[in-house]
Structure 1
């Protein structure tokens, strides 16, 4: 009995000592919020030097193809509304309050959308005064189908704190609240991304009278996409769609050829090349297993690209999906970070508290969660590698040491990771063929 009491006392002492030596994130900064570092978070996941402001902007892209109402090969036009959320380095006054994000959902009879709305706190400050004195590189973020501009706030806030203007798009017809026919997503992803880059350049120009006037360096742009967002950013970055996709789209829409402009062999597509884009991040990009991409189209991707995938991805596929895209993009300096045993949700915020309520369909949880990984860990690792990659290409930072790693993370600790924390991952790197 005395031995058991002594053992219990020793165990309690060690637990208390551990708590003193390694205080939790909660103890340091209150409740855990999306994007906060876990105790084993890698080095570059830490927030940067800037406070972060955030504002919502409503835009309209005029005279766009109304593909949902296309009929008999005729494409009517409409004015396409787009809402964006913009995070930026900011100066904070004493009475400024941190943001609460409000995720609006669809209706009970629509199976495409989750039924449980939710709110969550962030560490950005709503409509705060921007920091001035220099321009900041632009980053545009495109969510999955379905999703929203709030799907990756752990990353958008984090990057803004490091000196970027970060814009996340609500893609009309593709969000939790308004998901519509899939042909709209196929057609509009690259168009939306190009439009937002152009609009952000205007908002950042002298005389715009926007908060961001004089602050946006659109000539130094990075684009980030997840799933269908990955489909979009790769096309904007130079990977033309296949002729097979154009044929499928025409059949799907009753004769519309409007997507053909984005195919690899179309001269109009080649004119869309945008040298303002210096870096691409593609989380679980969709389409390779569906014939969206082929070798010829992938050769057009020449911008440095960082791919992120789970090797058990059952939406985009891995060996014949994401990794095949990585292998086929022979003219790009490219990386592929693979989470072993992860599926498709390698990019989103963790599941909200509402998704954990008893009695809900499990899909409410698996819209965000990974079965084999802690989403907070994925978030921290994503923050680390994307900070290294974008910093290298958009800020000319000396970050190569964080990217030039042995392939298998289990062999030894990756640089920037705490001891014993870099397990279960692979990192591939390939130089461009020419």
Structure 2
């Protein structure tokens, strides 16, 4: 065989082997959240075994804005399903393996019909909670529109293994399975987060006689949101919405005024819950649409970690997420930017089913980033959230992992393997005196 042909033949074999290795990593033994060879130091799982359970809450007496007429909202009881990951004690030989039941597609969308699929996680369903180590800080997680409580299992499982009780919400009217008109998401997102936070704290009280009893440290709470979840957690943390949103919402919801309660101009706007010590907002939506103004952002005083893609085409970057970072002058805040990433800086990698021919491309781009390996993003998120939340909720000395040069191309970041911390920027701003 001629040398050139032999070389080409070897190239083909090599490419075939590499593609199969990549496929195996995605579909075989690799589970969402597992570390890649170049994963930064704090991305590895913690020392706790992880249990997982599903709970159903009902928030009674809520405004039914989807059926508002002439500015009058009917009242209904709002159901909310949540998933709870927590430090657990496992019987000898028990394996941290769970199957999550999820769907692709969007309700009421004929081009993207609901398609069930399953994926594996590293937790044990209904495991006994670990009761010998005291209580653990609480994290409440809010997905995007549309999404589900399983959208970020790489992160929820990882944080539970590090000693957190992690509660992810299925926001009614905002999931893949029940996607409904936008006014419900606009008004209910922050209210759902606050309600679930309080319900979980109540379950964790001594004498409540449930698996969370004594497990929840109610004085150390973090809230995490992605996209519309980011929109929600910033409001819960004190960033009141603008009057522009009030007018916009009223115009699209039959005159409902339900969102007035969450506006900064409302003298009774609920200020941040003092139990909330940390906020994480992935690609928070709304700044480009006038959801916040300077006064509203001044209400954010809780330490905040923002994560964005520099090419975000949903929430916007310069006039969107970065403008939130600049405008939140009263918060100690960070902005981690993935250069050339778009909006998907938070979710799990694409499921295998999203690779099937004939599916709408958006099923793949519900999860994937065009310029990044989503598994790499997952590992970096695990690393930085471990540091940020560890500082504010566990009083751990992780400051060296956040005191970095802004541009990751200039010098290897602390905690990253040599040559692995390229393509990112980390900005830090302290509260204005």
Q: TM-score range by the shorter chain?
A: over 0.9
Alignment of 1:237-248 (within 5 A): 237-248=237-248
1:104 offset after TM fit, Å?
A: 3.4
Secondary structure of the 2:392 match is helix
Distance 1:114 1:426 in 2: 38
CA deviation profile, 1:83-136 (whole Å, cap 9, x unmatched): 000000011113566210000356775269663321100000000011112100
Secondary structure of the 2:348 match is coil
1:199 and 2:210 correspond: no
TM-score (norm 2): 0.93
Provide the residue aligned with 1:41 in structure 2: 39
Of 51, 55, 58, the residue aligned with 2:56 is: 58
Distance 1:105 1:393 in 2: 35
Secondary structure of the 1:278 match is strand
Task: Tell whether the 8 Å contact from 1:92 to 1:128 is kept in structure 2 after alignment.
Answer: yes
Distance 1:114 1:324 in 2: 36
Provide the residue aligned with 2:208 in structure 1: 208
Change (3 A) 1:300 1:113: farther
Secondary structure of the 2:122 match is strand
TM-score (norm 1): 0.92
CA RMSD of aligned residues (A): 2.6
Task: Tell whether the 8 Å contact from 1:140 to 1:167 is kept in structure 2 after alignment.
Answer: yes
Task: Tell whether the 8 Å contact from 2:387 to 2:402 is kept in structure 1 after alignment.
Answer: yes
Provide the residue aligned with 1:258 in structure 2: 258
Change (3 A) 1:109 1:2: closer
1:361 offset after TM fit, Å?
A: 1.5
Secondary structure of the 2:234 match is helix
Task: Tell whether the 8 Å contact from 1:242 to 1:263 is kept in structure 2 after alignment.
Answer: yes
Distance 1:406 1:335 in 2: 13
Distance 2:188 2:107 in 1: 26
Alignment of 1:321-360 (within 5 A): 321-360=320-359
Distance 1:2 1:312 in 2: 46
Alignment of 1:19-38 (within 5 A): 31-38=29-36
Distance 1:129 1:123 in 2: 15
Alignment of 1:112-127 (within 5 A): 115-127=114-126
Provide the residue aligned with 1:309 in structure 2: 308
Secondary structure of the 2:188 match is helix
1:374 offset after TM fit, Å?
A: 0.2
Gap runs ≥5 in structure 2: 12-17
Task: Tell whether the 8 Å contact from 1:238 to 1:300 is kept in structure 2 after alignment.
Answer: yes
1:276 and 2:275 correspond: yes
Distance 1:84 1:411 in 2: 42
Alignment of 1:357-372 (within 5 A): 357-372=356-371
1:255 offset after TM fit, Å?
A: 1.3
Provide the residue aligned with 2:74 in structure 1: 76
CA deviation profile, 1:324-345 (whole Å, cap 9, x unmatched): 0100000000000000000000
Task: Tell whether the 8 Å contact from 1:106 to 1:178 is kept in structure 2 after alignment.
Answer: no
Distance 2:106 2:304 in 1: 37
1:256 offset after TM fit, Å?
A: 1.1
Secondary structure of the 1:157 match is helix
1:273 offset after TM fit, Å?
A: 2.6
Gap runs ≥5 in structure 1: 12-18
Of 90, 93, 105, the residue aligned with 1:92 is: 90
Secondary structure of the 1:103 match is strand
Distance 1:414 1:111 in 2: 46
Task: Tell whether the 8 Å contact from 2:108 to 2:179 is kept in structure 1 after alignment.
Answer: no
Task: Tell whether the 8 Å contact from 1:116 to 1:354 is kept in structure 2 after alignment.
Answer: no
Task: Tell whether the 8 Å contact from 2:103 to 2:114 is kept in structure 1 after alignment.
Answer: no
Q: Which one is further off, 397-406 or 111-120?
A: 111-120
